[in-house]
Amino acid sequence: MKNLRHKTLAAASAVTLGVGLAVTGGLAPAAAAGPDTTFLVLAPQGAKNDRAAAQVAAANGTVVANYEQIGVLVARSSNPDFARRVAGAGVESVAATTGLGTALDEGETVEVSAADLANATGDPTAEPLFGQQWDMPMIGVPQAHAVTTGSADVVVGVLDSGISSSHPDLASQIAKDKSTSCLGGVVDTTEAAWNPTTSDHGTHVAGTIAAAINGVGVTGVAPGVKVAAVKVVNNDGFIYPEAAVCGFLWAAEHGMKVTNNSYYIDPWEFNCRNDARQRPVWQAVQRAIRYSNSKGVLNVASAGNSNVDLAHKTVDAGSPNNGTPEVREINSACVDLPAEAPGVVTVSAVGPTGEKSYYSSYGQGVVDVTAPGGDTRFRTQGAQSTLTDGILSTTFNTATRTNGWGYKQGTSMSGPHVAGVAALAASAHPGMSPGQLASFLERTAQAQSCPAGVYNPVPLLGAAFDATCSGGARTGFYGAGMVSAYNVVR
């Protein structure tokens, strides 16, 4: 674990098993070239993008992606005056996305021998490592699988770092015809483009959702459904807004029922709509999410690993995470994207005891449900990690290019449990709209009470992990409660 207060939604820790010139003589000045920069250009909502595209060209820019459905263009230009020149008729707002990438923190990777894997014991599912998946019984997965493992007609979009298409637990589970890279906001459907390169985060997430029941490794929450790799994390480990917008639109146009989003957009943990630079990002992402909802997609997002009360935000002291962090006062105009966007199911994390994981962010009226994300520190009050209290799933060693299985923890891991349960629910109740599906997840969740007083399962790590829960039937820590795979299919 690099930094216990690091503000990413990625795994909090991991262990892998097996993975012009002056005017002269009457000539017009020539503009000096600047660095090649990506911009989000927004047309007025409901308008066509033609006039905005013409403005981009007039400002010496190139449109690399045109999302006519939501009035958003992704443009590139080396004109240092592009943002000013592109403004005008047909353009509502514009923002450069330089410096707006958010890095995933991959944590530690430790390999173990093939012999250790071979000696693993399973249970009646015939999956050798199922006995180490404490998270699955916690949400009623064995009972759910006795009813259904899900429908292959249901596809979950994994907006992440790619999925290993050669993994033995995932090769049969990937909808290759619906997989793509969205890096740079541009679609690339070649298999190599959507496979992982420098991160196995998406592979781990995909396994929790839909790892196959095949006598190998682990099982997913919904092994009967399919997952689609929608790569939004670049090779440097950054997520840029244009990639996320592309991802939501891709899922919307390719019949996906659910997406999992274990990240936040922007190096500032909170996107402030009253900030001139950040507002276009909020607008573009919101348009993309609304559009995906209108196309039948339920979007699930992780709450974050900062132990922040999202309902009472006052200061952001750890951002940006791609430079020197500074202290910034924030208010209700500042939100965690996509977790706090309307129409998104927001998920907190619990550990093996079912209580809030020490790192998980929370908030009354923000968190909708909770699910296992792991807590490797509670047993020792923070002194050291017990790695098997993390979440076991599929991994890909990007150095050796080998597949394996391993533990990670974070709200990145709790989110895919909910995405998997949502996929089971969509399988059992195919007529549900995204809003109905979200409501159903909440109605069938197992309510959990607030712990009394100040909660901190890792006191040896200090008061930074103090948290106070509020609420009654619905709480700040757990929302409506623990999702139940069985309750959504029985």
36 tagged catalytic: no
Contacts of 124 (CB under 8 A, 6+ apart): none
Classify strands 93-96 and 155-160 as parallel, antiparallel or unpaired. Answer: unpaired
Q: For residues 184 and 349, give the distance between their C-alpha atoms in angstroms, rounded to a whole number.
A: 30
Q: For residues 448 and 446, give the distance between their C-alpha atoms in angstroms, rounded to a whole number.
A: 6
Q: Write down the catalytic residue from 201, 204, 254, 417.
A: 201
CA distances from residue 450 to 323, 472, 476, 478 in whole angstroms, order as listed: 37, 8, 8, 8
Q: Are 360 and 415 in contact (CB under 8 A)?
A: no
Between helices 279-294 and 241-253, what is the axis angle to 10°? 10
Q: Write down the catalytic residue from 151, 412, 414, 484.
A: 412
3-state secondary structure (DSSP) of residue 248: helix
Beta partners for 15? 407
Q: Are 177 and 31 in contact (CB under 8 A)?
A: no
161 tagged catalytic: no
3-state secondary structure (DSSP) of residue 55: helix
Count CB-CB contacts under 10 A for residue 479: 29
417 tagged catalytic: no
Contacts of 296 (CB under 8 A, 6+ apart): 255, 257, 433, 434
Q: What does the chain come to in residues?
A: 490
Q: Write down the catalytic residue from 105, 135, 160, 336.
A: 160
* Residues designated catalytic: 160, 201, 412
